[in-house]
């Protein structure tokens, strides 16, 4: 389970895992495929995207596939939801926190041009709120690896 604020580099790390044979599930890809191009999403849209990701995750895990969830997982509560969901399948997920300096993450977001699901433009205030509101995971949540993102 990837986690980190916007611009941290989560999708880059997730794509590396995909290249190693993991199935990558992306919140942003699902939102983009539904025509959702601006963030934050309306509550109903966000919940529909989350439900689609959760359903596919359970299907893939049920098939015995290695899966990386490419999403911000910005709060402990959101990470706990995935842990509870996967516990029903006997799976303890690894949290992969992409640790990136604030200024690097914000610079990356500022350079976005809206060309795809991982290039979503965010107003500077929204981007800053995403970075500043991110809840850094701790080892007490469960298995954790910290990856430098920039």
Q: What domain range is 13 assigned to?
A: 2-148
Q: What is the CATH number of the domain that holds 105?
A: 3.40.50.300
Q: What is the dihedral of CA 12, 75, 131, 4, to 10 degrees?
A: -20
Query: Has this prediction a pTM greater than 0.95?
Result: no
Question: Looking at residue 54, what is its pLDDT?
Answer: 97
Question: Looking at residue 118, what is its pLDDT?
Answer: 84
Got the DSSP string for 67-125?
A: EEEES---SHHHHHHHHHHHHTTT--PPEEEEE--HHHHHHHHHT--SSSTTS----HH
Question: Looking at residue 38, what is its pLDDT?
Answer: 84
Question: Looking at residue 35, what is its pLDDT?
Answer: 95
Q: Which helix (H) or strand (E) holds 3?
A: strand 2-3
Unique residue bearing structure tokens 């516990």:
87
Domain count, the chain: 1
Per-run averaged pLDDT (10 residues), the chain, 150 residues: 96 96 96 92 95 98 97 95 96 97 97 90 93 96 94
Question: Looking at residue 120, what is its pLDDT?
Answer: 86
Question: Looking at residue 119, what is its pLDDT?
Answer: 87
Question: Looking at residue 40, what is its pLDDT?
Answer: 87
Order of strands, edge to edge, in the sheet holding 95-99?
A: 2-3, 95-99, 144-148
């Amino acid at each position: 389970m990837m986690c980190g604020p916007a611009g941290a580099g989560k999708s880059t790390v997730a794509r590396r895992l995909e290249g190693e044979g993991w199935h990558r599930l992306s919140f942003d890809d699902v939102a983009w495929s539904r025509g959702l191009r601006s963030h934050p999403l309306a509550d109903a849209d966000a919940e529909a995207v989350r439900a689609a990701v959760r359903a596919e995750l359970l299907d893939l895990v049920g098939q015995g596939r290695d899966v990386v969830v490419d999403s911000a997982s910005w709060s402990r509560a959101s990470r706990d939801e995935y842990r509870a969901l996967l516990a029903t399948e006997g799976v303890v997920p690894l949290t992969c926190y992409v640790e990136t300096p604030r200024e690097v993450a914000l610079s990356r977001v500022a350079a976005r041009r809206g060309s795809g699901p991982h290039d979503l433009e965010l107003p500077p205030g929204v981007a800053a709120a995403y970075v500043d509101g991110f809840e850094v995971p701790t080892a007490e949540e469960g298995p954790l690896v910290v990856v430098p993102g920039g």
